[in-house]
Structures are given as C-alpha cells and as structure tokens.
Structure 1
Amino acid sequence: MMEIQSQPTNLTKEDVIKLIADFQQNQCDEAQERLVDHYKNLVHSIAYRYSKGGPMHEDIIQVGMLGLLGAIRRYDYSIGNAFEPFAIPTIVGEIKKYLRDKTWGIHVPRRIKDLGGKIKLAIEELTDHLQRSPKIIEIADHLGLSEEEVLEIMDAKNNYRVSSLDDVVENSSDGSSVVRIESVGEVEQGYEETERRLVLKDIFNVLNDTEKSVIHYIFGENLNQKDTGERLGISQMHVSRIKRQAISKLKQAAFLDT
C-alpha cells in the first residue's frame, strides 16, 4: 500500500469555494495559484497511482495538474458542495485520457466493434424518430441492453481509441443527451462527464449503503444535511459525520491502487 500524502489544511471548504468563485468571476491568478498549491499533493498522489514513480511520472503529474485546472474552471461553486468529489474524477479522467493516447493502437475486441456499431446505428434511428439526441436508457432499451452495458461499450471505445468507433457517442452527466466525438484526440464536454460518472461508479464501491445514500442526496440531488437526515431518518449531525467519512473513503479509493 502506497503512502498517502496529507492534504494541506490552510484552506477550509468555504475558502476553496470563495477562491474558485474569485477565479471564475475575475480571472484572479492569485486565487488559482492558491488552489493549485492547496491541491498539488492530491494531484501527486493520484498521479503516483498510475505512474508508480516510473519514467512517465512527471508527465502524468503535469496532466493531472491540467485536470485540476479544468475542474477549477468548470466547478459550479453556486451549489456550495465540496470541491473534491468533483475534482478527483476530473483529474483521474484527464490522466486516463493521456494514457489512452499513448496506447491507442491496441487491437479492438470483436464484441466492442459489433456493439459499438449497433450503438451508432441505434443513435441514428432514435434521433430520427425522437427528433432529439436519445438518452442512454433509450439506447439501452432499443438494443435490449442495460445502461451499464451501453456505458461500458462507450468507455471501451475510448480506451482503444480506434477510428472505426470514433462516432460512438457519450452521455451527459445526467444521461439525458449524447454528443459525438468528432475525431481522435478531441475531448467534448459529454465525454468528460461520462468519464467522471464511470470513475465515480468504480470508487463508490468502497462506501456502505448509508454513505452512498448521503452522498447521493447531498451531491446528486443537492439536498441540505437537514433534508438528507429526514429522508434517512437520522440526525443532521449524523449526516454531517457520515458525509465526512464518505468523502475520506472516496479520496482513499482514488489514491490507492487496489
């Protein structure tokens, strides 16, 4: 088990949100620099998971930093939720895309090719019928697949980076729409949201049912801790404690190579 570098403690959650707001509203370089300094150990720890200290380590750190900067630019501070659950999948996704670009010529399994083609055709048929981009669940129902299988094929397509699947589409963060990847190496917002969803799905396995529910209500449905407690039949203080514990587990899951 690798040693996890501790997070700097000079910024509170509220400080982080204020700095992000200052950067997004005023393009404040000082705010961005403070955020990067605060989260640099987080980036280094995640980078080590993929580099194991090898020759690509410094490159992966730089890519992780780009992911952090992207998260700072896109984070919706108005909601008031913690930044880390948004930042970690964004950083991991950026690193994974970089590593895929290094290995895009791997042979694509027949199953990926076949289902990728069927998904592409289903998108075209459903778009014509619905006069809009279909939802992931609509694609799945059309093909007799589960949503997880559709997402798996989309993710596998991006893992192999092969031109025959360049037109397979990705879902937005809520699964309500899809966007095309026009060319190898082009990263669309929809792809980034799918990547984040898949990464979160993997690391959420470390949480127990109550922790998953708390994270879902607070970060998924934007409920406050009081309303979350009422949903679960527990006190607001208990919700706060479970949330802190769950976020800590998610950080560990993102850092550790399991």
Structure 2
Amino acid sequence: MTSMSTKARGTGAAGTSVLPEVPDPSQVAPKDARQLSRLFFERLATLEEGTAEHQYARGTLIEMNMSLVRYAAGRFRSRGPEEMEDIVQVGMIGLIKAIDRFELSREAEFTSFAIPYIVGEIKRFFRDTTWAVHVPRRLQEARVQLAKATEELQSRLGRLPTDRELSELMSLPEDEVREARLAANGYNSSSLDATIGGSTDGEAVLQDFIGTEDAALELVEDFHSLAPLIAALDERDRQILHMRFVEELTQAQIGEHLGVSQMHVSRLLTRTLARLREGLLTLQ
C-alpha cells in the first residue's frame, strides 16, 4: 500500500471521521483499498456535494478502485491494445456510477457491488458501438477510406471504379481493397424478416435458416450476472433464497425454520427478488 500522510483532510464535525490524505490513490493495493474505501464512503455520506472535501473523497475513491476496472476489462483482453483503452475508459464510467450509488447500509462489499456496474457499462459499449460482425481495426479504417475513394472515382469516371483503380488511389494492394470491401459487409446487419432472393410473396426469410435460442446458454449468463448481486445480500436473505429455490421449501416451512410468520417470509422474498430484478435491469 502506498504511504499515507498523517495530515488530516478537512476539520470534520464532532464524532465525524476525518479523511487521511492518500498521496497516490492509484497505487493503493486492492486489499488496503477495500479497507480505506469504507472509511471514505462513511465520510462521503456526510459531506455536501460540490464541496472541496466531497470532491476529494469521491476522487480518491475512484482512483483507489481503478484496479476493479482493470480486472473487469481483463475479460476482454482478446480485443487488442487499441480497443482495450476504450474498454477501460468505459469501465471507469461504470465505476463512477457504482461509487455514486453505493450505500454502506447495504452491508455488502463495494467490490461485489461495483463489478456488475463496470461489466454492464462495457457490455453496453459493445452493444451500441461495435460492428454487426467484428473485424480487425485496420479493415474498419480501410472501409472508411474505400467509401471515400469509391465516391470520388465514381463521380470522376461516371461509373463504379474497378479494384485496380481503387488500389491506385488508396495506395493499397488490390487484395487489401477486396478484403476491405468484404469486411464492409460486417458493418450493417440485415433484418431477420428480409427475404431471400427477392420480395416475392411466400419467399423464405432469413429467420427460417437460423437456429433457435438455447435457453440453457441464456441461463449461464443470468447466473453469472446474479452471483455478485446475491453475494451483496445479507445472510438471512441468502438463506431464505437457498431454502426456497434450492431446498424447495414452502414459505410456511421457511417461516417455521426461522421462527417467523409465513406472511413475513413472503414479504422478505418479494423484497429480495425485486432487488435482484432491479440489479439485473441495470446491467442490460
């Protein structure tokens, strides 16, 4: 862990913890960051937004927990160093959202709370900005160059240019021009209702040739997303979920086991399931 100054940050009200100064928050070890984060969250909850101390506490929390973003982004390391920079930046947005929404009263580790926000933000980035089919960055850039060259030559020649003419203007080999043209097909996707071979009534459509969704695969992703949300619940709520959906006990049996009424068990289950549902919706 990086060394901390003994100088306190801010005066603090009576009975209120005073924040220590952390010279380089980004160098704090993850284990120490977990302990320090709790102290900063406690103080952040008492500070007025917009004040210098609030900005210091919030900024320090962001820097101390950047390792969570790097950890989550590591799942997508196969996308290359250029795209990884974008992924980390997007993950930081998820981290900031998690910090602004986290409450110590949840009695959960901030790590378990933040990871779904970070991963969810990265997935949204892929959904909103990537190509229909992923192609190498060099071909994505070549597609833009190809479109400009094609428009220029078509205007000049009055016809569609050949690959040779395009390669001369773009200063690229003909095979790369053809490869860029082929890659451009991955930029847009077609509707599943698009007909094959024309618009004749009764013609087969694309969706007729696509397999059905595998519900089991969807469950794997749902379970993966649910895991940190369940881990953030308190022990009693997790116990009730286990008895209801793993042991398959009735609400009356659960109430008898816990020494509470069936109605109380029903309220607890409803509250817990609503919380999990809300958590999943934030990741979509």
Task: Report the TM-score when normalising by structure 1.
Answer: 0.41
**Highest RCO, 1 vs 2 (Cα 8 Å, sep ≥ 6):** 1
